[in-house]
Amino acid sequence: MRITAAEVAALSLSIKVALLSLIVTFPLGLLVGWLLAKRTFPGKAFLNTLVMLPLVLPPIVSGYLLLILLGKHGFIGRFIYQTFGIEIVFSELAVVIAVSVISFPLLVRGIVTGMEAVPVELENAARTLGASPIKVFFTITLPMAHRGIIGGTILGFSKSLGEFGATIMVAGNIPGKTQTMALAIFSAVHLGEDVSVYRLVFISTLVAFAAIWLTERFTLR
Partner 1 sequence: MADGTKIRLDFRKRLGSFTLEVNCTLEAKVSAFLGPSGSGKSTLLNCISGTLAPDDGEIAFGEEVLYASASKINLPPEKRRFGYVFQEGYLFPHLTVAQNIRYGQPKPRKSSAAIDVLEISEFLQRYPRELSGGQRQRVAIARALAMEPRMLLMDEPLASLDSALKERIIPYLHHVKDTFDIPILYITHAFSEAMALADEAFLIANGTIIANGEPHRLLTAPAAMPIAQLTGVENTLFLPVTASDKARGLILLEIGDQALVIPYTDIGIGEIVPVAVRAEDIIISLEPDLSISARNILKGTIQYLDIKSEYTWLSILIDWHHLAVKITHAARKQLQLQEGSEVYCVIKASAINLLWD
- Binding region for partner 1 (CB under 8 A): 119, 121-122, 124-132, 139-140, 143-144
Distance in Å, CB of 34 to partner 1, minimum: 18
Distance in Å, CB of 122 to partner 1, minimum: 5
Distance in Å, CB of 146 to partner 1, minimum: 8
Angle, CA 193 vertex, CA 156 and CA 202 arms, to 5°:
40
Tell me whether residue 7 or residue 123 sits nearer to partner 1 (CB atom). Answer: 123
- The answer to whether the beta carbons of residues 86 and 72 sit under 8 Å apart is no
Task: Report the C-alpha gap between 159 and 24 in whole angstroms.
Answer: 15
Tell me whether residue 122 or residue 174 sits nearer to partner 1 (CB atom). Answer: 122
The rounded radius of gyration (Å) of the Cα atoms in the chain is 20
Tell me whether residue 53 or residue 144 sits nearer to partner 1 (CB atom). Answer: 144
Tell me whether residue 50 or residue 129 sits nearer to partner 1 (CB atom). Answer: 129
Distance in Å, CB of 42 to partner 1, minimum: 19
Tell me whether residue 186 or residue 218 sits nearer to partner 1 (CB atom). Answer: 218
Task: Report the C-alpha gap between 36 and 31 in whole angstroms.
Answer: 9
> CA nearest 136: which of 118, 153, 114, 112?
118
Cα end-to-end span (Å), the chain: 41
Tell me whether residue 97 or residue 136 sits nearer to partner 1 (CB atom). Answer: 136
Measured in whole angstroms, how far is the alpha carbon of residue 175 from the centre of its chain? 22
Residue type, 176: G
> CA nearest 54: which of 163, 199, 184, 168?
163
- The answer to whether the beta carbons of residues 136 and 150 sit under 8 Å apart is no
Distance in Å, CB of 39 to partner 1, minimum: 15
Distance in Å, CB of 114 to partner 1, minimum: 13
Tell me whether residue 75 or residue 138 sits nearer to partner 1 (CB atom). Answer: 138
- The answer to whether the beta carbons of residues 141 and 119 sit under 8 Å apart is no
> CA nearest 184: which of 205, 200, 171?
200
Distance in Å, CB of 41 to partner 1, minimum: 16
